[in-house]
Amino acid sequence: MKICTNMKERIEQLQKKINQVKIDSKETLEQFRIQWLSKKSELQDLLSGIKNVVPKERKSVGALINKLKEEAEEKFNNYKEKFKETAQTQQLPDSYLPGQPIQLGSRHPLNLVAVQINTIFQSLGFSLADGPEIEDDWHNFSALNFPPEHPARDMQDTFFVDDEIALRTHTSSVQVRLMETQKPPMRYIMPGRVYRNEAISARANCFFHQAEGLYIDKKVSFADLKQVLFEFVRQMFGAECKNRFRPSYFPFTEPSAEMDISCFICGGKGCPVCKQSGWVEILGCGMVDPQVLSNSGHDPETYSGYAFGMGIERITMLKYSINDIRVFFDNDIRFLKQFI
């Protein structure tokens, strides 16, 4: 009799448990099935215990267990149907709706200006050329008339790989390679990255980009050089941009000059970028030194030529009124998004 009483109490306890089970997902529904309706469930253990009940009570106890099992099955089936209906009525994405827009990137301002420089000079008859960024002493220094004691050969100014190999300090090395392998006339623009061991500041970096030009032919004059550069400034900065030439010195050109334009950032009034002068140097230029022609295998009595070189960062800073060169290398998306 005691066993029968214990069975009935256990049935009541299990009924309360079943009623209290919270089912809010397919996962919790599966857990309910395993706990209450599987072959190893608590209800199955309860049915196995009927043999211990006295015969005259087995029928009534069995009826209570079956009723409890039916209630558990009904609860399981109700939730199963509910989740099935929810899945069927869930809206599918409309394939005719417009998709998520793809955010277009923007080109780096240095790339934009480099392409514009190349385009301008190509329209003037120049072809594009390129060369290695790791150079030997001959192409980077000696063939360009840099004497052994020149400061550019010092460790403080150049990134040396060993005694004879360095990261190129200018794209003038490409000029030497072109003159060694080609016969005049030759007219090239040579953009590329260069490296110098300089302290990083608002006006300088240890690596930057240059575009150099070279024209070798018979009877080339300084007037030809000035005409090409005047046209470059007109197309790059506009006809209203003021410009001037100043005498200068470069080992590989003679005579040599630097070209300045009026500072776009301060309007010629003076600022840190133009060193309060109102003018900004944009390039160096000059007639190719006869010794450089000889070093490259050309007769300076027959041929002459001019060369020029400009920093792409400096041109970009002027064109877009940027006063700090470091922003080009910060990869700040807010800065880059300003350019198309």
Tell me, yes or no, whether 94 lies in a domain: no
Contacts of 335 (CB under 8 A, 6+ apart): 327
> What is residue 340's predicted lDDT score, i.e. its pLDDT?
65
Tell me, yes or no, whether 48 lies in a domain: yes
Q: What angle do CA 166, 170, 172 make, to 5 degrees?
A: 110
Tell me, yes or no, whether 99 lies in a domain: no
- Distance (Å, rounded) from C-alpha 164 to C-alpha 172? 17
Tell me, yes or no, whether 92 lies in a domain: no
Query: Are 231 and 317 in the same domain?
Result: yes
Q: pLDDT for 263-287, tens place per residue? A: 877 777 888 767 888 888 899 999 9
Q: How sure is the predictor about 87, in pLDDT bands with cuts at 50, 70 and 90? A: low
Tell me, yes or no, whether 21 lies in a domain: yes
Query: Are 124 and 202 in the same domain?
Result: yes
Query: Are 164 and 313 in the same domain?
Result: yes
Lowest mean pLDDT of 4-13, 123-132, 322-331, name the range.
Answer: 4-13
Lowest mean pLDDT of 69-73, 277-281, 313-317, name the range.
Answer: 69-73
Assign 110 to helix, strand or coil.
helix
Query: Are 175 and 312 in the same domain?
Result: yes
> What is residue 16's predicted lDDT score, i.e. its pLDDT?
80
Range of the domain at 60: 2-85
Query: Are 301 and 179 in the same domain?
Result: yes
Task: Tell me what the pLDDT averaged over the chain comes to.
Answer: 84
Q: Is the pLDDT of residue 198 over 80?
A: yes
Query: Residue 256 pairs with which residues in a beta bridge?
Result: 248, 286
Query: Are 148 and 207 in the same domain?
Result: yes
Query: Are 51 and 193 in the same domain?
Result: no
Query: Are 132 and 199 in the same domain?
Result: yes
Q: Is the pLDDT of residue 2 over 50?
A: no
Q: Which of 278, 281, 286 is nearest to 259 (CA)?
A: 281
**Which run of H or E residues covers position 4?**
helix 2-20
> What is residue 150's predicted lDDT score, i.e. its pLDDT?
72
Query: Are 306 and 210 in the same domain?
Result: yes
CATH of the domain at 264: 3.30.930.10
Q: What's the predicted TM-score (pTM) here?
A: 0.66
> What is residue 4's predicted lDDT score, i.e. its pLDDT?
58
- Distance (Å, rounded) from C-alpha 340 to C-alpha 234? 22
Q: Which of 28, 53, 85 is the last residue before a domain boundary?
A: 85
Q: pLDDT for 225-242, tens place per residue? A: 999 999 999 999 888 888
Query: Are 146 and 203 in the same domain?
Result: yes
What share of the chain has pLDDT > 90, as a percent? 41
Q: Which of 7, 134, 136 is nearest to 63 (CA)?
A: 7
Q: pLDDT for 25-41, tens place per residue? A: 878 878 877 777 777 77
Tell me, yes or no, whether 91 lies in a domain: no
Query: Read out DSSP for 324-339?
Result: -GGGGGS--HHHHTT-
> What is residue 90's predicted lDDT score, i.e. its pLDDT?
56
Q: Which of 21, 53, 85 is the last residue before a domain boundary?
A: 85
Tell me, yes or no, whether 104 lies in a domain: no
Query: Are 50 and 195 in the same domain?
Result: no
Query: Are 138 and 187 in the same domain?
Result: yes
Count how many domains the chain has: 2
Tell me, yes or no, whether 102 lies in a domain: no
